[in-house]
Amino acid sequence: MTIKDLTLEFVDNVVLSGDVISGSIKFVVVNSFKCDGVYVTFYGSSKIAKYLFLKLYHSTGSHHARNTHVNKRYECHLNHKVCIYKPQNKTLHPGVIEFPFCYRIKKYIPHSFKSKSGRTSYSATVQVKKHLLPDDKTKVPFTVIGFKDLNDYPWMMKSVKFSNVHRFGILLWKTLPVKVEVFLHKQAYVPGEVIISDIRICNTSPVSISHAVFKLVRYEYYYVAAGHRKHRRRTVNKTPLPGIPARAERGYRDVNLLIRPTPPTHMGGGSCIDVQYKVAVLFVPEGSYLKFGFVYNVVIGSISFQRHV
């Protein structure tokens, strides 16, 4: 054994895409050896779960699969090898060796992400090359925050009011309409912010509403072939609302919904995995398990909007 305790430590293992990640490489030399160099390889990729990939693959049809790049289960976003130390036939003697390093991450790469259907991950692998001897390696993961600047979407900072009408029933029997109105103070947010909305539900039907809910939903899209994709819905957070009697109207002012940590819209960069967000107002009629309501698109970013005076 020539070296031991090979470690790579980051100053901060969470970095915004486009920023610099820094740290140090440290190891202990036990026996003298000739070093051909110390390198760090930064690597990042997206991967769709195998079962979902095969499901999408077969849904394209064999005739279509031959004409499109359907093999897109993996997608590489970052693959760069950086030389930290390269001596000229220099021998490293016993002792503690440490090399600092810094590297600027590509700007528009996807946010680190993991779910049952796929993941986007990043890592740094340090390699100590030894002359005529096997190399020593160690791999350390790090987290990338996708770049999504809300200052590029100033129109999304305006308030918006939207509404919809629903009828529920069976076959030819339909109730009188239930009208839902929602007022959002803005349409773009960052994790940690609170969505504040005013909601009014006018229930003109003879059926009471047992309960309602206001929530933020994340739509996860998985692309494999042109025109073919699957999506899954995940609730980021939700706020329950009281029920409404039949032929009654109720308003909910300043309904708060905290945005928990979540990737930005479109992951902050192109990928075979994509995410979008919608706020949803749903209600459940008395005696039913079906949810009715509607959704509206919002943008989640990583850099908050700054008002310029």
On whether the CB atoms of residues 130 and 136 are closer than 8 A, the answer is yes
- Label residue 65 by pLDDT band (50, 70, 90): very low
SS3 at position 289: coil
Q: Would the CA dihedral through 247, 252, 258, 259 be positive or negative?
A: positive
Task: Give pTM, 2 decimals.
Answer: 0.83
pLDDT per position as a tens digit, 100-144: 999 999 888 999 998 887 889 999 999 999 888 888 999 999 999
Strand order in the sheet with 194-203: 160-166, 178-184, 194-203, 248-258
